[in-house]
Amino acid sequence: MDLRTEFPRSMKVRLGGYAHLARMIDKCRAVLAGTEGEYLYPCPMDERLLEFAGITSDQFTAAVKANATDERVLAWFQQHAQAHQPAELEDWNQRLLLRGPSSPESAAKFKKYLDSIDPLRTDLTAWSDLQDLEEGRIVPQRTSVTHFS
């Protein structure tokens, strides 16, 4: 995957029930190929998933390097990840996908990015939505609005 010319999958795409896993694979593959462009791996979102799974970024990178397909990476991930009940995984997915800025500095950064992409989208509060908007995906209007100052 060449992230200098295309986008990784949305963090909303689920692989094996995990939000963000497909995107993390895309970014890891790009880093291994030297085609990550401006994308970071491991980024804070990657670290959240890895921590939830009980896997290090070095372990995950080695697994992606050794397994050429999503199916094989997923099989490795499921074999090595800490087991979670479906409800616990779904709760974690929702918390990740709804996660917004966690500090005044983070809120300022979020607002700056959002203003540069679409300043009229004051309804967006989650990093996952901001990423999708930035990468040209359709992000439906939200009914609840949070304004950052």
* Segment 85-107, tens digit of pLDDT: 999 999 999 999 999 999 999 99
pLDDT of residue 149: 41
On whether the CB atoms of residues 10 and 21 are closer than 8 A, the answer is no
Q: Nearest-CA neighbor of 77 among 16, 19, 11?
A: 16
pLDDT of residue 142: 79
pTM: 0.91
43-48: long-range contacts, CB 8 A cutoff, minimum separation 24: 45/11, 45/20, 45/96, 45/127, 46/20, 48/20, 48/96
Tokens 């300043």 correspond to what residue?
Answer: 119
Tokens 């992606």 correspond to what residue?
Answer: 64
What percent of the chain is predicted at pLDDT more than 90?
A: 93
DSSP letters for 70-104: HHHHHHHHHHHSPP--HHHHHHHHHHHHH----SH
Residues 141, 146, 147: CA angle, nearest 5 degrees: 110
Write down the mean pLDDT value for the chain.
Answer: 94
What percent of the chain is predicted at pLDDT more than 70?
A: 96
pLDDT of residue 148: 47
Q: Residue 69 corresponds to which tokens in the numbers above?
A: 């397909």
**Is the predicted pLDDT of residue 73 greater than 70, yes or no?**
yes
Give the single-character DSSP code of 122.
T
**Is the predicted pLDDT of residue 147 greater than 50, yes or no?**
no
pLDDT of residue 144: 57
